[in-house]
Chain A
Amino acid sequence: MLSLLIFLPFLAALASLIFRQEDVSKWLSLAVAALTSLLSLGLWLGYDLAQGGFQYVQDIPWLSTLGINLNLAADGLSLPFLFLSALLTLIAILSEWQRKDGAIFSLFMLLEAALMGVFASLDLIIFFIAFELALIPMFFIIGVWGYDNRRYASLKFLLYSLVGSVFLLIGILSLGFLAGDGGVSFDYRQLLLTAPLIAKTPALLICLALSIAFLIKLPSVPFHTWLPHAHTQAPTGGSIMLAGLLLKMGGYGLIRFNVSLFPEAMQTLQPFFALLAVLSLLYGGMVALGQSDLKQLIAYSSVNHMGFVLLGIASLTAFGLHGAVYQMVAHGVITGLLFLLIGMLSHRTHTRSIAALKGMYTAMPILGGLMWLAMLGGAGIPGMAGFIGEFQAILGAFQNPSTSLWAVLGAFGILVNAALMLWTIQRVLQGEPSEQMKANYDLHDITSLELLSALPLILLALIWGFLPQSLSPYIDVGVQSALSQLGF
């Protein structure tokens, strides 16, 4: 079943490349995205919580001579992301529905296939391939369909990610070599047993190499400078995928590989991670306060949000890891929603400059209301998904004596973030729209298609806010293997 999640979008991408018909690629991508959403939701609901561990295992031989096979499986850690990959692809496609060019839809399909590969593969080389392959469609989505400065932004995105890939590949190759006694193995299930046997210094180096790749992706200060450019220049659909999923590959990788395979090395690196987390939290939030472009503001607030993820991971506690994953899922939904709504807004007003926007709630009550909701979600208000992750990440960091001081500092990140979102609400939504804005642009309220594309994200943000028991048990099971490696 999992292979379908990879191959359906991949084949759809190929088919639309071959037929080169705008309508065909549009509807085909939409159908495949909807189908994979249902499929991944079905897999999620069908996951046996009592049994736990990896389920839906599939071993498809590929490069068997080198010990590289398409080993797919899903657990509580990957299922939410598999579902989000399909769902956000669907929404990204809907958000770009008015495009006259079929190629962007086949790129979304390719991106979905790569993301599914990242979250479903148990083979480290396949993981690397998918991780790398996710770059290419995103690069073209930003570079071809982006805003004015797209060339620079797409190139910066590409180069940062490629530098990460160097460290990732060298880390994976060394890991496979050092952990497999005699025969090289890239099978995650086997590495879980053999990775602890690696001597201390090489383990630390490998862990560091993997961390660099994932920290660039996450992104954490000081590797974050590609993100604002990429977000500002990307089209709406690109931003949704970027914020919702591509960043999550970093956090997912840190938990899946760094924490689970190198618990000892992570203890050594703990202060370093905690420092970066707090820097991301405070610095990302502060810089966001100074932005004049709405999209760039949300991009920097993502740096802040990912700081919580990193802090949760750095705590190396059950609460912290759980919070980190919850925060990633919540951020995917809420920030995806924010970018979607900003896309609708800037489509109407032809600007994203905060200074030019004012009184959008009065002008468009429903769209403005949804934005209000999404921004509050971004601020981490109780009752929405963002709160639980942030709270648990801070709590987890506080529980571990070696990171408790960082937790205190990081808690100020909540303050900065809340201030940022509330101030943005005040500037963009409240008040009366300017006369010039009303005269020049057609500020019609949300259309039914737009509402339809936003609805799943709104519902999920609320469901996971009010009913955390619909998500938490899966994450608990998912981080269990990491926790058992840590000795919990």
Chain B
Amino acid sequence: MLFGSLILVLVASLLLLLAKPFAERPTLAAAIALGAAAIAMMLFASSFSQEATLLGMLSSGHLSSLGSALMVMIAALTILGMMANPYKYQSGLSEVYAFVLYTALGGVLMLSANNVLLFYVGLELSSYSTYILVSYYRQHKLSIEAGAKYFVLGALSSAILLYGISLLFAATGGIYYSDISTAIQNTSPVLLYGSMALLLVGFAFKLALAPFHAWTPDAYQGAPTLVAALLSVGPKVAVVIVLGKFMQLFSDDSFLLWQQALMVLAILSMTIGNFQALNQKNLKRLLGYSSIAQLGTLIIGLASGNMQGFAAVLVYAIAYSISNIGAFSSIAALRDSGLKANIEAYRGLGQRQPFAALALTIFLLSLAGMPLLAGFAAKLFVFKSAVDAGLILLAFIAIANTVLSYFYYFRVIIAIWLDQPEDRAEDMVLGLKLHPIALSALSVMAMVVVVLGLWPNALLGFVEKALGGF
């Protein structure tokens, strides 16, 4: 099933990329992309409990199915958002959908690879697709700048990661996860520690964890908004799960090192991300910094090192993905209606477009971790795993950071609901119209955030199954 869906997505994206007729028919192209994503998602969901391998290189199981379904869902949500205003992507409509699918495909490869090389191929596939997507507005200086920055640092981090992988190979002589984990017990620690350091830096770059985060805000601001949405969640979710897999490869006594490094990264990311987000005026930059902080919170689950922590990572990844894509999609939809992505422009949005305002508020509150929304259960789960692992100081810093993050999320919410529209000059239409597709996409996502918040058990049960019990 895994491979059927892989091929399906691959064929669909090739079709979109190569066949000219789709370029002129945005709806058809989108329908193909969405259809492929939907079928793939169903396949992943239905093959949830199947274990299979392909050519000894790919293997599917609970975890990879869950992660793959999430990746494809992220791609589908991005495409759905893009459908509302396809004419923004002048330089080839169907291509943009194809690259979104490729990003997801790369993520699926990363998740289902059972050796380090294929993981790297998957990583590069999704990275290259996003390099192209970020600089998609070819005419815009900012977009090009964002793409260039992202590409240089992305390529550098891939190189560092690959170097780490090669040291791992040198130390253990294996590329399969199973070989590595058996050989790793009696190898020279020098090579292993070198490999660990390089892997950590590489992963941190990919996840935009502080202090390796500098590329993020520029890339988000310059990229098309929905690409920024994809970038902030898509590859990162897959990378974080693989990071968890890598950690399990190493022996137990090196876990303390991982834990300390992850704790430092988490604390730095949360603190730096939140403090930088405080002063942002541009919403996309604000969400960029907030996503640094969110990823910092996410890896606390990995630092806990127990099964519950890993489950928390998955739950958090799902809740964060939907909320973050939702927030970016709201911004994109409002941008299509002529609203700039500045906090000042959002003043009095509650009066101008109450629906989008409510949806954006729900997404932001969920990101902030407000109870009864998806983000809360996820945050609670992460904090609890940290406390259970005895990392009370880390939990305390994380919770304090959560409050810090309320400042900027609420700054937007206050602007939306409490402030009056900036100026009621004649050129300003008070009411804003939303595209029906954007409207339905936003309402579905907002509903999911609320439902997951009210009944988090459904999600937890799913994740628990994927991990075979806590």
A173 and B383: CB pair below 8 A? Answer: yes
Q: A144-B418, A163-B403, A184-B388 known; A169 and B372 CB under 8 Å?
A: no
A208 at the interface (CB under 8 A from B): no
B284 at the interface (CB under 8 A from A): no
Q: Which residues of A from 152 to 182 have beta carbons under 8 Å from B?
A: 154-155, 158-159, 162-163, 165-166, 169-170, 173-174, 176-177
A62 at the interface (CB under 8 A from B): yes
Chain A residues whose CB sits within 8 angstroms of the CB of B38 once the complex forms: none
B401 to chain A, nearest CB (A): 9
A166 and B392: CB pair below 8 A? Answer: no
A-B contact pairs, 15 of them (CB 8 A): A63-B457, A64-B457, A133-B370, A133-B372, A143-B414, A144-B418, A151-B414, A151-B419, A158-B410, A162-B406, A166-B396, A169-B399, A170-B395, A174-B392, A177-B384
Q: Mark A135-149, 1 if CB is under 8 A from B, else 0.
A: 010001001100000
A65 and B402: CB pair below 8 A? Answer: no
B456 and A63: CB pair below 8 A? Answer: yes
- B residues engaging A (CB < 8 A)? 365, 370-372, 376-377, 380-381, 383-384, 387-388, 392, 395-396, 399-400, 402-403, 406-407, 410, 414, 417-419, 456-457, 460-461, 464, 470
Chain A residues whose CB sits within 8 angstroms of the CB of B407 once the complex forms: 159
**Could you list 4 further interchain pairs (A-B, Cβ under 8 angstroms) beyond the known A132-B371, A143-B417, A176-B387?**
A63-B460, A129-B376, A151-B419, A173-B383
Chain A residues whose CB sits within 8 angstroms of the CB of B396 once the complex forms: 166, 170
The distance in angstroms between the C-alpha atoms of A301 and B291, with both chains bound, is 44
B414 to chain A, nearest CB (A): 7
Contact partner of A65 among B400, B410, B414, B464, CB < 8 A? B464
Chain B residues whose CB sits within 8 angstroms of the CB of A62 once the complex forms: 456-457
Q: Which residues of A from 36 to 85 have beta carbons under 8 Å from B?
A: 61-66
Chain A residues whose CB sits within 8 angstroms of the CB of B365 once the complex forms: 136
Q: Mark A364-379, 1 if CB is under 8 A from B, else 0.
A: 0000000000000000
A125 at the interface (CB under 8 A from B): yes
The distance in angstroms between the C-alpha atoms of A159 and B395, with both chains bound, is 20
The distance in angstroms between the C-alpha atoms of A17 and B285, with both chains bound, is 31
A477 to chain B, nearest CB (A): 31
Query: What is the chain A residue whose CB lies nearest that of B470?
Result: A65
B399 and A166: CB pair below 8 A? Answer: yes
The distance in angstroms between the C-alpha atoms of A177 and B461, with both chains bound, is 22
B38 to chain A, nearest CB (A): 28
Q: A65-B457, A151-B418 known; A177 and B388 CB under 8 Å?
A: yes
The distance in angstroms between the C-alpha atoms of A73 and B377, with both chains bound, is 23
A150 at the interface (CB under 8 A from B): yes
The distance in angstroms between the C-alpha atoms of A176 and B419, with both chains bound, is 41
B307 to chain A, nearest CB (A): 12
A132 and B370: CB pair below 8 A? Answer: yes
B461 and A143: CB pair below 8 A? Answer: no
A184 and B400: CB pair below 8 A? Answer: no
A66 and B384: CB pair below 8 A? Answer: yes
Chain A residues whose CB sits within 8 angstroms of the CB of B370 once the complex forms: 132-133, 136
A63 and B377: CB pair below 8 A? Answer: yes
Chain A residues whose CB sits within 8 angstroms of the CB of B377 once the complex forms: 63
The distance in angstroms between the C-alpha atoms of A144 and B415, with both chains bound, is 11
Query: What is the chain A residue whose CB lies nearest that of B371?
Result: A129
The distance in angstroms between the C-alpha atoms of A128 and B456, with both chains bound, is 16
Query: What is the chain A residue whose CB lies nearest that of B398?
Result: A170
B387 and A174: CB pair below 8 A? Answer: yes
Q: Which residues of A from 189 to 210 have beta carbons under 8 Å from B?
A: none
Query: What is the chain B residue whose CB lies nearest that of A177?
Result: B387
Contact partner of B406 among A61, A129, A143, A158, CB < 8 A? A158
The distance in angstroms between the C-alpha atoms of A201 and B410, with both chains bound, is 36
Interface centre among A66, A144, A150, A162 (most CB of B within 10 A): A66
Q: Count A-side interface residues using an 8 Å CB cutoff.
A: 33
Chain B residues whose CB sits within 8 angstroms of the CB of A144 once the complex forms: 417-418
Chain B residues whose CB sits within 8 angstroms of the CB of A158 once the complex forms: 406, 410
Chain A residues whose CB sits within 8 angstroms of the CB of B417 once the complex forms: 140, 143-144
The distance in angstroms between the C-alpha atoms of A64 and B457, with both chains bound, is 7
Query: What is the chain A residue whose CB lies nearest that of B402?
Result: A166
A308 to chain B, nearest CB (A): 30
Query: What is the chain B residue whose CB lies nearest that of A169?
Result: B399
The distance in angstroms between the C-alpha atoms of A429 and B470, with both chains bound, is 67
The distance in angstroms between the C-alpha atoms of A72 and B38, with both chains bound, is 41
B243 to chain A, nearest CB (A): 24
A166 and B387: CB pair below 8 A? Answer: no
The distance in angstroms between the C-alpha atoms of A140 and B410, with both chains bound, is 11
A143 and B383: CB pair below 8 A? Answer: no
Chain A residues whose CB sits within 8 angstroms of the CB of B406 once the complex forms: 158-159, 162
- Per CB-CB distance, the 6 closest pairs between chain A and chain B, nearest first, are A129-B371, A65-B460, A173-B387, A143-B418, A162-B403, A177-B387
The distance in angstroms between the C-alpha atoms of A119 and B301, with both chains bound, is 32
A181 to chain B, nearest CB (A): 13
B371 and A133: CB pair below 8 A? Answer: yes
The distance in angstroms between the C-alpha atoms of A130 and B370, with both chains bound, is 11
Chain A residues whose CB sits within 8 angstroms of the CB of B403 once the complex forms: 162-163, 165-166
Q: A63-B457, A65-B464 known; A154 and B387 CB under 8 Å?
A: no
Query: What is the chain A residue whose CB lies nearest that of B368?
Result: A162
A278 to chain B, nearest CB (A): 30
Chain B residues whose CB sits within 8 angstroms of the CB of A133 once the complex forms: 370-372
Contact partner of A170 among B371, B399, B418, CB < 8 A? B399
A66 and B460: CB pair below 8 A? Answer: yes
Chain A residues whose CB sits within 8 angstroms of the CB of B380 once the complex forms: 66, 125
A323 to chain B, nearest CB (A): 33
B46 to chain A, nearest CB (A): 24
Q: A129-B376, A133-B372, A158-B406 known; A66 and B381 CB under 8 Å?
A: yes
Query: What is the chain A residue whose CB lies nearest that of B311?
Result: A65
Query: What is the chain A residue whose CB lies nearest that of B381?
Result: A66
B420 to chain A, nearest CB (A): 11
The distance in angstroms between the C-alpha atoms of A62 and B460, with both chains bound, is 11
The distance in angstroms between the C-alpha atoms of A61 and B417, with both chains bound, is 35
A150 and B418: CB pair below 8 A? Answer: yes
Q: A125-B380, A132-B371 known; A155 and B414 CB under 8 Å?
A: yes
A154 and B372: CB pair below 8 A? Answer: no
The distance in angstroms between the C-alpha atoms of A151 and B420, with both chains bound, is 12
The distance in angstroms between the C-alpha atoms of A132 and B365, with both chains bound, is 12
The distance in angstroms between the C-alpha atoms of A219 and B317, with both chains bound, is 38
Chain A residues whose CB sits within 8 angstroms of the CB of B383 once the complex forms: 169, 173
Chain A residues whose CB sits within 8 angstroms of the CB of B381 once the complex forms: 66
Chain B residues whose CB sits within 8 angstroms of the CB of A143 once the complex forms: 414, 417-418
The distance in angstroms between the C-alpha atoms of A183 and B384, with both chains bound, is 12
Q: Mark A217-228, 1 if CB is under 8 A from B, else 0.
A: 000000000000
B275 to chain A, nearest CB (A): 16
Chain B residues whose CB sits within 8 angstroms of the CB of A184 once the complex forms: 384, 388
Chain B residues whose CB sits within 8 angstroms of the CB of A165 once the complex forms: 403
Interface centre among B383, B419, B457, B464 (most CB of A within 10 A): B457
The distance in angstroms between the C-alpha atoms of A166 and B397, with both chains bound, is 10
The distance in angstroms between the C-alpha atoms of A163 and B407, with both chains bound, is 11
B418 and A154: CB pair below 8 A? Answer: yes
Q: Which residues of A from 84 to 122 have beta carbons under 8 Å from B?
A: none
Chain A residues whose CB sits within 8 angstroms of the CB of B470 once the complex forms: 65
Query: What is the chain B residue whose CB lies nearest that of A61?
Result: B457
Q: A64-B457, A65-B460, A143-B417 known; A129 and B372 CB under 8 Å?
A: yes
B166 to chain A, nearest CB (A): 40
B377 to chain A, nearest CB (A): 7
Chain B residues whose CB sits within 8 angstroms of the CB of A169 once the complex forms: 383, 399
The distance in angstroms between the C-alpha atoms of A419 and B457, with both chains bound, is 56
Q: Mark A231-272, 1 if CB is under 8 A from B, else 0.
A: 000000000000000000000000000000000000000000
Chain A residues whose CB sits within 8 angstroms of the CB of B460 once the complex forms: 63, 65-66
A115 to chain B, nearest CB (A): 14
A173 and B384: CB pair below 8 A? Answer: yes
Chain A residues whose CB sits within 8 angstroms of the CB of B419 once the complex forms: 151
A298 to chain B, nearest CB (A): 25
Chain B residues whose CB sits within 8 angstroms of the CB of A177 once the complex forms: 384, 387-388
The distance in angstroms between the C-alpha atoms of A140 and B418, with both chains bound, is 8
